[in-house]
Amino acid sequence: MSTLPGQVRLSWQDPVTGEQRTPLLTCPITLGREFACMPVELHGQRVARIVLNSSQVSRYHTLIEWVQGHIRITDQNSSNGTWINGVLQTSCHISSGDLLKIGPYEITLMFTLDGRGLPTAEASEQSIIQVPEPANPVPEEPAATPINILPPAFQAHQLVVQDLHATQLPVEEIDYLAVGAGLGSFIWVDFLRICGVAVQQIRALGIEDRPYARYQRLCLNSQIPAHERLRSNSDSCPDNIWGWPGYALREAWHEFNKGNMNPALQYLWQVFAEPTFAQTYTPRSGNVFASIDREAIRIGWPQIYRFGRVRAIRQTQDGRYAIAYSPGRKQTAFVVARHVHLATGYPVLQFLPDLKAYREQTHDFKSVVNAYEDHRHVYETLERQGGTVLLRGRGIVASRILQRLYEARQRQPNISVLHLMRSPKPQGNRFGKAQRLVENHFEFQPFNWPKACWGGTLREELEQATPEQRTNLLADWGGTTTADRRDWKRFVQQGVDQGWYQITFGEVTQVVPNTQARPTTYIQEKGLRGEVKLEADFIIDATGLDSKVKASPLLNDLVTHYNLPLNPAGRFAVANDFELLEMRNHYGRLYAAGAITFGGPHAAVDSFLGLQYAALCAVDGLVAARAPNLQRLNGLNSLRQWLKWVQNQTP
C-alpha cells in the first residue's frame, strides 16, 4: 500500500472496548476530547479531527503537521501534556514508529517521508470468530437467515398471539423468561426465586443445561483449570446474592475442618488486608462451579431450563413478548412472556486482523490460535518437542498463558516465549489523584475494573454521568490490566533473567508462513529502522473477547427491527436499572445484563458481582412494575431467605 507524504497511520487500542483503531489520515491532524473545539481548517487545509475520550485529554490537545518534509507534533497547552516515547514534549519532530501518549491513549504513528509504501496491514472490520460452542444439534445461523424460518407474524412491529397459535407450532405462555441461560440468566432467576416467584412461572432458554457451561469452557481454554483461581473477590458469589459468607470464609472453614490452620488463616488475612497489605484473595474456579451446582438444584434450575436457540424477540399486542426459538434442528417453538431478561454473553471472539488473515490464507488453525479457543495441542506439542511461542496481548489471559508455558517448561526446558506488545508501558493510567501500578510493562489491578466500580464512589459517578462523560470515565478506568500475583511476577522475572522470556515492542506489519510453514511475524520498530522478523512455532492471541451486539444475529435482529439505540461502545443503551426502555410494552419489561450492556451505567457489567447488581436493579424495577408474585427483598424477609440458603432449602 502506498501513501502520500504527510499521510500518517495512527494505531491504538481503544481503552474502552479494546478494539484496534488504525485510521490512515492526512496532515494536519488534531487530537482532542471535543470535536468542536478543534480547528476545521489550518493554513487552508482541511483538518482531520480525532476525538479521544478521557478526562486526561484536553479539549484540543495536540496537533500533528507536515512541515518542510517533517512530521511535527505540537502540544496545544494541554493540561496533562503530550508524551513522545515517554518524554514530555511541547513541540518536536517525530519519526515513524514513535509512540504518542495522551492520557490513557497510546498511539503509534507510522509514515514514510517520501510517500512510498507504508507497510501497515489494513485492519479488517470483521476480525472476529465465533465463541467456541459444544457440539450441538442446533447450529448458529449466519446473520442473514434467522428471520426466514420464522412465521410471517414476526414481520410485524407487534404481533398477535393468536397468530402464533395458528401456526400449530408449540407455544408456551409464561411470566418470566431468561434468554441465554448462562450465568447472567441464572443470577436473575436466582433473584426471582428468592423474591417469591415460583418455578413454573419462569423459563430459561439456552443451549447448555449448566449455567456456567460456556464460562467454564472459556476458562479452561484460557488456562484456568478447576484448582486455579479466578479474578473476582471473595464476596462475588454467583450462588449467593448476599455475598456472605464469601468464598474466602468458606475455603478457610473447609481447610480449618481438615486441620489445616495455615491456609485457613492465610485466606482470612488476605480478605482482611487486601490489596494493600496482602495479595488479593480470589476463589478457585472449581469451588465456584460447585457452589453454583448446589444453588441451581436449590432454586429448581433443572425445571426452569429448556434447550433452545433463540432466534427472534417481538413485542405482542397484548403487552408481552413473543420469543421464537429452535428446540432442535429445523424445529421452531414459541414462548410468550410478560417479562424478559437478555443475557447472551459475548457473541464473538475478537481476533487480531493479521492473525485472522494468516489463518484464512494458510488454513493453518493449529499454529495460530486465539487464547479462548481450545488450544491444548500447543502445550502438548511444546512439552513433547519444545519450541517458540509468540504471545500477543498483555492482560490477565496473557498472564495465565505465561503461567501455563512456565509449567510446560518444567517438563521441557526447550521452550521460549516471545511476548510481543504494541508499546512499552512506562506508567499506569491516571484518574484524579490516583495512578495505577506498572511493573515490567504489565499494568496491575486486582480485578478488571477499579474496585469502587462495583459498589463505591466510582459506581455512583458513572451512573450519574452523561453518555459522553461515561465514555471518558471508562477510558480512564479501563485498559488492559493483569492481577498483581506474586507467582506471575516471579515467572516473568525468572524468564527475563534466564533468557527464555523476552518482551518485544512493535507494530505488526504482517504475519506470513516461512518456508517451513511456521508463522513469521514482521514488526515495525521505531524510526523505520527496518523490519524485524520474529519466527515462532505458535502464535497465541490473548487480546480479547468482543461483545458488540451487532455481531449476534439475535441481538442484531432486535436492534434493527425496533430501531433500538446503541450506546457509544456499540452495546445496548440501557437505563440505570438495565431496562431497554424502547422495548417497554404496556406491563411488559425487557432487561439486559452482561457484556451486551457495557458502556452504560455500570462499568463491571461482565462480572459475577456486576451481573448480580444488574439482576437486583432489574428485579427492583419489576417489583415497581407490579410483576406477578414478586416481592421486594429487604430486612427480615431477606434474612429469612438467607437462612433458607444456609439450610439448602428451596426459597
Partner 1 sequence: MTPTLLGRWQTRLLLTETVGLVITLLFCGGTFGNPAGPIFFWLLQYIVLFGLGWDYLYIYIQSWRWDQDWPAALQWIAALWEGLFIILIVEVANLKLPGTGIAPGWHLGWFMVHYGLVWLAVFITSQSFMRLIFPRWRFRGGQWL
Ligand X SMILES: Cc1cc2nc3c(=O)[nH]c(=O)nc-3n(C[C@H](O)[C@H](O)[C@H](O)COP(=O)(O)OP(=O)(O)OC[C@H]3O[C@@H](n4cnc5c(N)ncnc54)[C@H](O)[C@@H]3O)c2cc1C
Which does residue 63 bind out of partner 1, ligand X, none, counting CB within 5 to 8 angstroms by kind? none
HEC string for 84-146: ECCEEECEEEECCCCEEEECCEEEEEECCCCCCCCCCCCCCCCCEEECCCCCCCCCCCCCCCH
Which residues are bridge partners to 84 per DSSP?
87, 100
Give the shortest CB-617-to-partner 1 separation in angstroms.
9
If one asks whether residue 409 binds ligand X (CB under 6 A), the answer comes out as: no
Give the shortest CB-649-to-ligand X separation in angstroms.
26
User: Given the rule CB under 6 A, which of 339-347, 383-391, 577-585, 630-638 is the region that contacts ligand X?
Assistant: 339-347
Give the shortest CB-191-to-partner 1 separation in angstroms.
9
- Kindly tell me which of 508 and 555 has the beta carbon lying closer to ligand X: 555
- Kindly tell me which of 8 and 592 has the beta carbon lying closer to ligand X: 592
Residues 308, 311, 313, 317: is their CA dihedral positive or negative?
negative
Contact 615, 204 (CB under 8 A): no
HEC string for 242-254: CCCCCHHHHHHHH
If one asks whether residue 454 binds ligand X (CB under 6 A), the answer comes out as: no
Would you mind telling me the total number of residues written for the chain in this entry? 651
Give the integer Cα–Cα distance in Å for 556 and 571.
11
Binding mask 155-194 for ligand X (x = CB under 6 A): -------------------------xxxxxx---------
| 578-637 binders of ligand X (CB under 6 A) | 594-595, 606-608, 611
- Kindly tell me which of 21 and 451 has the beta carbon lying closer to partner 1: 451
Contact 87, 75 (CB under 8 A): no
Give the shortest CB-205-to-ligand X separation in angstroms.
6
The site that binds ligand X (CB under 6 A) totals a number of residues, namely 32
Give the shortest CB-595-to-ligand X separation in angstroms.
6
- Kindly tell me which of 269 and 587 has the beta carbon lying closer to partner 1: 269
Give the shortest CB-182-to-ligand X separation in angstroms.
2
Which of 15, 103, 206, 246 is the binder for ligand X (CB under 6 A)?
206
User: Given the rule CB under 6 A, which of 30-38, 61-69, 289-297, 343-351 is the region that contacts ligand X?
Assistant: 343-351
In angstroms, how far apart are the furthest CA atoms of the chain? Answer: 79
Peptide bond into 170 cis (omega under 30): no
Which does residue 613 bind out of partner 1, ligand X, none, counting CB within 5 to 8 angstroms by kind? partner 1
Give the integer Cα–Cα distance in Å for 627 and 175.
8
If one asks whether residue 506 binds ligand X (CB under 6 A), the answer comes out as: no
Query: Grid coordinates in use for 91?
Result: 513541540
Exposed/middle/buried for 199, CB within 10 Å: 0-12, 13-18, 19+? middle
Give the integer Cα–Cα distance in Å for 162 and 184.
31
Give the shortest CB-271-to-partner 1 separation in angstroms.
7
If one asks whether residue 573 binds ligand X (CB under 6 A), the answer comes out as: no
Give the shortest CB-395-to-partner 1 separation in angstroms.
17
- Kindly tell me which of 345 and 387 has the beta carbon lying closer to ligand X: 345
Query: Grid coordinates in use for 591?
Result: 432487561
Give the integer Cα–Cα distance in Å for 408 and 201.
50
- Kindly tell me which of 274 and 507 has the beta carbon lying closer to partner 1: 274
- Kindly tell me which of 21 and 632 has the beta carbon lying closer to partner 1: 632
The DSSP result for 437-467, as a single string, is EEETTEEE-SSSS-THHHHSHHHHHHHHS-H
Give the shortest CB-157-to-ligand X separation in angstroms.
21
- Kindly tell me which of 243 and 386 has the beta carbon lying closer to partner 1: 243
Which does residue 507 bind out of partner 1, ligand X, none, counting CB within 5 to 8 angstroms by kind? none
Give the integer Cα–Cα distance in Å for 468 and 403.
39
Q: Which of 232, 224, 226 is nearest to 282 (CA)?
A: 232
Give the shortest CB-99-to-partner 1 separation in angstroms.
23
If one asks whether residue 404 binds ligand X (CB under 6 A), the answer comes out as: no
62-67: strand order across its sheet: 48-51, 29-32, 62-67, 70-75, 91-94
Which does residue 452 bind out of partner 1, ligand X, none, counting CB within 5 to 8 angstroms by kind? partner 1
Contact 495, 487 (CB under 8 A): no
- Which residues of this protein are in contact with ligand X, per CB under 6 A? 180-185, 205-208, 214-215, 218-219, 222, 230-232, 236, 309-310, 343-345, 545, 554, 594-595, 606-608, 611
